[in-house]
Structure 1
Amino acid sequence: MPQARLTLDPHFTVAPVSRRVFGSFVEHLGRAVYDGIYEPGHRTANEDGFRRDVIELVRELGVSTIRYPGGNFVSGYRWEDGVGPRESRPRRLDLAWHSTETNEVGLDEFARWIKEVDGELMYAVNLGTRGVQEALDVLEYANIPSGTALSDQRIANGSPEPHAIRMWCLGNEMDGPWQLGHGTAEEYARLAAKTARAMRQLDPTLELVVCGSSGAGMPTFGDWERTVLEETYDDVDFISCHAYYEPHDGDMASFLASAVSMDRFIDSVVASADHVKAVRRSDKTMYLSFDEWNVWYQSVYNDVEKITDASEWPQAPRLLENAYSAMDAVVVGSLLISLLRHADRVTAASLAQLVNVIAPITTEPQGPAWRQTTFYPFAITSRLARGTVLDPKIDSPAMVTDAYGDVPMVDAVATHDDAAGTAAVFLVNRSLTDTVTVSIDAGPLGVESVRSAQTLHDDDYSAGNTLQDQDRVVPEPNKSARIENGTVTVTLPPVSWTALELQ
């Protein structure tokens, strides 16, 4: 049986765990909002029409910031359509997803919902078809306590307290030709800089996210980051990263090593940001908001015929509803390892998305809500990752991949909460065939016991959780975990994700 070894030391740290890394994303797309978080006729619906069963699952998932209302949707969105009496709100065509938007849910309702799930609202402004004035208007409406036309309008609309939104995204994926208002990096950078400066005149304490590339495969990747940051570096706090992963041509080994791609993507964006920092001779460090990431079978979606007749665009169609497998969950767990490994620069992230649309939670109209396989590594990591991220020294057998060459069979990251006397280790066995025994030298942490050990694995790695069998794939106790003289040993089955809670 292959053997791997990890060494944990409280002196080898990365950065404090940022709760914002466990963010998510709700876009007006498909059934993410309507029939997802919102279904007024459902037996569990609250007075605002939001499903309480979904609220409970979102709380269990442990999300922090939630990005809203898009996504591609935001580049054609008029925020004022979604406030005021519902019966007066206009129906609009959503060009991003070829759907009809009813505007039954808008900023005020979503702000109330996010309090129910103990989350933080991260709001995206429309820099596709709109600009500076509209960004200032929605900021005034949302954050000014009272005494102005727009803040008083919010109060009249039933939200007496300001929404106090701290994080604001300056548009979405503006490098993408599919995006309404797409332009060059120079054009976007000037608009983003003007918008940021204007918003800071209203509130200099805002945290602003400028658009990076919508993927590392974009032809402008790298140059886009450099150009945008040269114009906006002093005016923003984050640059965004977006990445989605799926197997290609049946290459499951490379798919299981997707975190290698995420690592390289992050390192490249950091290098671009630090280049601008050096050229500007700045003392400021630019952080990354990885505010779209997930497993997404885009090739399947791209094969679906789009409705071109706008008069037939449906309301809340079933779009991008991936059914996730055990393998997909292992990859999601490994991507979380990558995000934590870069905690010194990635201080915010958003799993895209939250409900129904490439999501860890699925619902049926008038029916149940349940956890997809990807729910579990996110929820458990969010619950256990506390304190400081450690940099474990990993000695692992290699496995061969077509996309990335030789990669470690075992990937891992750890966190340590010195004040609570706890630590957590998150591990992935990427091998399709081999079981691996891992020895973890946790002596320097003073570890005395294994409080819990959970492994997500299924002999059929294509198995998933369905309406008919909602608990087909769930984490199980890993009974192999034990400790002796400060060394923890655990056996990892192939294609598996494991979390250890140490005391």
Structure 2
Amino acid sequence: MKARVTANAAYAVADIDKRLYGSFLEHLGRAVYTGIYEPGHPQADAEGMRKDVIELVRALDTPICRYPGGNFVSAYNWEDGIGPKENRPRRLDLAWRTTEPNLVGIHEFADWAEKAGTEMMLAVNLGSRGLDEARAFVEYVNHPGGSYWSDLRARNGRTQPWNCRLWCLGNEMDGPWQVGHKLASEYGHLANETAKALRGLDPTVELVVCGSSHSNMPTYPQWEATVLEATYEQVDYISLHMYFENYEKNTAEYLALPAKLDRYIGTVAGIIDYVKAKTRSKRDVKISFDEWNVWYHQRQRDAERMRAWDWPEAPRLLEDIYNFEDVLQVGCIINTFIRRSDIVRIACIAQLVNVIAPIMTDPGGGAWRQTIYWPFMLASRHGRGTALQLAVEVPTYDAAAADKVPWLDIAGVHNSNAGTLTFFAINRHGSETIEADVALERFAAKSIEHTIIRHDDLEACNTKDAPDTVSPVKGNGAALSSKGMTLKLPPHSYSMVRVTL
């Protein structure tokens, strides 16, 4: 199969916000307990945090981590996670029908984030609680001192504020499953008043208002219009979520789903423009796509298990084991965010450890990389710079999600500081190699390298006993040419091609 791609230095989408490669940790399953935190583990540090997990997170180079939820936050009392651990209450978590011991709270998470090389993206509870508790939380975290909550922080061992910049105004408040679910008008009013109070306390914060939990919600896209009309002058981002499923085991249909993602982003971008015009505002609101991932391998089974159990503590829950096919999907999702980086400024893979995650752990044992770790890591480490507007000519196919889905999914990033041009390319076709001629206009190429992820078995997984079954290797399918470069992309493959300029 032949393809033509043109990359021109003059045609750019946007400078990519590094937070496009964000992550997420929720008090859910083993994400926190026996995930990042396991006192007594051979790899635990003095605070009980697993150093082997920290090393894997640092290698991902994820700039932000959203916490503590997720559905969990909508019935969470943040004060339960401060003060001496022996005095912290044990609570029943309604979101996941588990018992929360509150051994990890804001202090422990903030310390872990610093060790892991990431910044906090915190969420306030606008489900069971409201404005006053949100204001107290921000004061506790960000105020220098001399007030009730900031002085309490100091008495609890942290004199200096953490100065967290990014705050989520609740989570998925459009969802009937959410504790404290609200109508769009109710939530819009509450979010606006909360935002005003938080800005009064700390004018430097960036605020994320809840958009639709997914694009199949019956209230979508009216929810976005109603909420943004109520909050536009006070918020910086609107949150979107989407998870990707392949219950039918149809690879071509599965890999077409990012076209639905692109349409979702485009629709909400149009609503933002509409509300900006309607409110006569000069402000720009962007998208925070702060939950995304593949999620279907254990989802239905675990939903049944959860309904039957009796409030366990840190159970094995939603521990999807990812395969090679999911590498291709994650690559296409990230490429979509890169191509939409003018409006999508923040994105968070959900989640980071054990729960639908790129990193897995065994209690008392080792930690390893799932298959999806690799495309996320390659993009996070090498997808910084300016997203390019590529011209792509390639055959297409029709799918349920969209017509004319290109067999080649490709994104390009120019890093002028590093002097590199990086392409992330996925061949969606299962039997044909894609031979692509790539024209590099206004770029002077000096050298080229090819990294490829490929396996003959789409169901191939990484396990604790075979952690490198699916992993990147050096490829030989990229070469410089008189006009740019040529690529040979094998069937069902993920490639990263880096050109030194």
Give the match for residue 457 of structure 1: 454
SS of residue in 2 equivalent to 1:497: strand
In 1: Cα distance, 2:113 partner to 2:476 partner: 38
Q: Are residues 1:326 and 2:324 paired?
A: yes
Give the match for residue 494 of structure 1: 491
Matched letter for residue 455 of structure 2: D
Distance 1:241-1:419 versus aligned 2 partners, 3 A rule: same
Give the match for residue 334 of structure 2: 336
In 2: Cα distance, 1:308 partner to 1:383 partner: 40
Matched letter for residue 94 of structure 2: L
Please tell me whether the aligned partners of residues 298 and 319 of structure 2 are also in contact (alpha carbons under 8 angstroms): no
Aligned-residue CA RMSD in angstroms?
1.3
Deviation (angstroms), 1:433: 1.9
Deviation (angstroms), 1:304: 3.9
1:198-213 equivalences under 5 Å are 198-213=197-212
Q: 1:34-53 deviations in whole A, cap 9, x for unaligned?
A: 01001011111111110000
In 1: Cα distance, 2:311 partner to 2:476 partner: 52
Give the match for residue 468 of structure 1: 465
In 2: Cα distance, 1:256 partner to 1:223 partner: 28
Please tell me whether the aligned partners of residues 448 and 486 of structure 1 are also in contact (alpha carbons under 8 angstroms): no
Deviation (angstroms), 1:486: 4.0
Q: Are residues 1:226 and 2:186 paired?
A: no
SS of residue in 2 equivalent to 1:213: coil
Give the match for residue 109 of structure 1: 108
Deviation (angstroms), 1:298: 6.8
Gaps of 5+ in 2: none
Give the match for residue 260 of structure 1: 259
Matched letter for residue 88 of structure 1: N
Q: 2:406 aligns with which of 405, 408, 412?
A: 408
In 2: Cα distance, 1:243 partner to 1:29 partner: 18
Deviation (angstroms), 1:157: 1.1
Please tell me whether the aligned partners of residues 443 and 485 of structure 1 are also in contact (alpha carbons under 8 angstroms): no
In 2: Cα distance, 1:140 partner to 1:391 partner: 42
Deviation (angstroms), 1:443: 4.1
Give the match for residue 421 of structure 1: 419
Q: 1:327-368 deviations in whole A, cap 9, x for unaligned?
A: 101100110000010111111110000000000000000111
Deviation (angstroms), 1:400: 3.3
Please tell me whether the aligned partners of residues 25 and 352 of structure 1 are also in contact (alpha carbons under 8 angstroms): yes
Q: Are residues 1:92 and 2:52 paired?
A: no
1:80-479 equivalences under 5 Å are 80-297=79-296, 300-301=299-300, 304-308=303-307, 312-450=310-448, 452-479=449-476
Matched letter for residue 49 of structure 2: F
Matched letter for residue 50 of structure 2: R
Matched letter for residue 384 of structure 2: R
In 2: Cα distance, 1:284 partner to 1:317 partner: 44
How many correspondences in the alignment?
500
Distance 1:299-1:41 versus aligned 2 partners, 3 A rule: closer
Relative to the length of structure 2, the TM-score reads 0.98
Q: Are residues 1:69 and 2:68 paired?
A: yes
Please tell me whether the aligned partners of residues 5 and 395 of structure 1 are also in contact (alpha carbons under 8 angstroms): yes
Please tell me whether the aligned partners of residues 454 and 477 of structure 1 are also in contact (alpha carbons under 8 angstroms): yes
In 1: Cα distance, 2:2 partner to 2:221 partner: 38
Q: 1:146-168 deviations in whole A, cap 9, x for unaligned?
A: 11121111111111221110000
SS of residue in 2 equivalent to 1:66: strand
In 2: Cα distance, 1:344 partner to 1:353 partner: 24
Relative to the length of structure 1, the TM-score reads 0.97
SS of residue in 2 equivalent to 1:199: helix
Deviation (angstroms), 1:301: 2.9
Identity %: 48
Deviation (angstroms), 1:307: 4.5
Q: 1:214-266 deviations in whole A, cap 9, x for unaligned?
A: 00000000100000000000000000010000114222211112211110110
Distance 1:233-1:304 versus aligned 2 partners, 3 A rule: closer
In 2: Cα distance, 1:226 partner to 1:436 partner: 42
Give the match for residue 479 of structure 2: 482
Please tell me whether the aligned partners of residues 301 and 320 of structure 1 are also in contact (alpha carbons under 8 angstroms): no
Q: 1:262-301 deviations in whole A, cap 9, x for unaligned?
A: 1011001111111111111222221000000011107733
In 1: Cα distance, 2:402 partner to 2:247 partner: 13
Please tell me whether the aligned partners of residues 302 and 317 of structure 2 are also in contact (alpha carbons under 8 angstroms): no
Please tell me whether the aligned partners of residues 14 and 342 of structure 1 are also in contact (alpha carbons under 8 angstroms): yes
Give the match for residue 56 of structure 1: 55
Give the match for residue 33 of structure 1: 32
